[in-house]
Amino acid sequence: MNTVTVNELIPDAALQVVSEETFEAWCNEDTRAEYLDGEVIVHSPASFEHETFLPGLASVMKIYVEEKELGVICGSNFQMRLRSGRRRMADLCFISKARLHLAHETFIDGAPDLVIEVVSPESSDRDWHEKYLDYEAAGVREYLIVDFLSWRVAFYRLQSNGLFAPVEEQDGKLHSHCLPGFWFKPEWFWQRPMPKTMEILREIGLFK
């Protein structure tokens, strides 16, 4: 993870922080960066574990969401403007059909319904603590964290008091409210290779 100074964005600038407008103009579709109240965070390349796991999970969720006509699944290059001055990027997120009006060309202006983060060595504190608090404050309905460093999976759901609470497994499954009928099975995540997309979709019951 690298912090970019304002002078790297605007040479000889007298500003002390980068404005959100400057960041939006500078950040293109090939740049994986977040904006945190004037500070720009550029992300390091993803790990092998990260990149081999995410496409499989993304495929499962994308097909399920499309077949059920629930909304859209977005990947790690799509920004979330959680509030003014706070832009994050998630590994995967789900935006329900009822909230697609919040989606702009390069970002969603508000909180997605569901966010998924896969922890890497440089993102552990960010995913477990910083993003947890940001997503909770923004009103993300569900937050799934998959941590291959500690072999942990945690699933949180926003409560009526505006705070996250852990979702407990039921028969080895973590059931989502954002994706009706869909559930995550943590044991999928530790299998190598991960079960095939169609195998998981049949297990969930989408296809026979």
CATH of the domain at 153: 3.90.1570.10
pLDDT class of 44 with cuts at 50, 70, 90: low
Read off the pLDDT of residues 104-148 as tens digits, 9 standing for 90 and up.
988 999 999 999 999 887 778 888 999 999 999 999 999 999 998
pLDDT in tens, 78-103: 899 999 999 999 999 999 999 999 99
Q: Are residues 39 and 90 in the same domain?
A: no
pLDDT at 154: 97
Comparing 36 with 156, which gets the higher pLDDT? Answer: 156
pLDDT at site 140: 98
154 and 169 together in one domain: yes
CA 114/CA 54 separation, integer angstroms: 15
Residues 31 and 97 in one domain: no
For residue 124, the model assigns a pLDDT of: 85
- Mark whether 66 and 104 lie in a shared domain: yes
Query: Tens digits of per-residue pLDDT, 158-203?
Result: 999 999 999 999 999 999 999 999 999 999 999 888 899 999 999 9
Asked whether residue 20 falls in the same domain as residue 97, the answer is no
Strands 164-166, 152-158: parallel, antiparallel or unpaired by DSSP? antiparallel
| Shared-domain flag, residues 77 and 63 | yes
At 204, give phi and psi (nearest 5°): -70, -25
- Whole-model pTM over 0.85: no
Same-domain status, 121 and 198:
yes
**Same domain flag for 12 and 57:** no
Under 8 Å between Cβ of 87 and 202: no
Q: Residues 65, 118: one domain?
A: yes
Q: What is the pLDDT of residue 20?
A: 84
Identify whether residues 31 and 91 lie together within a single domain: no
| Total domains, the chain | 2
Cα 165 to Cα 105: distance, rounded to the nearest angstrom: 32
CA distance 140 to 131: 11
One domain, residues 25 and 60: no
Cα–Cα distance measured from residue 194 to residue 52, given in angstroms and rounded to the nearest whole number: 9
Residue 48 clears pLDDT 70, i.e. is over it: no
Q: What are phi and psi of 83, to 5 degrees?
A: -165, 175
Rounded mean pLDDT, 20-31: 76
> Do residue 97 and residue 136 come from a single domain?
yes
Domain range for 143: 45-204
pLDDT of residue 117: 94
* pLDDT band for position 24 (cuts 50, 70, 90): confident
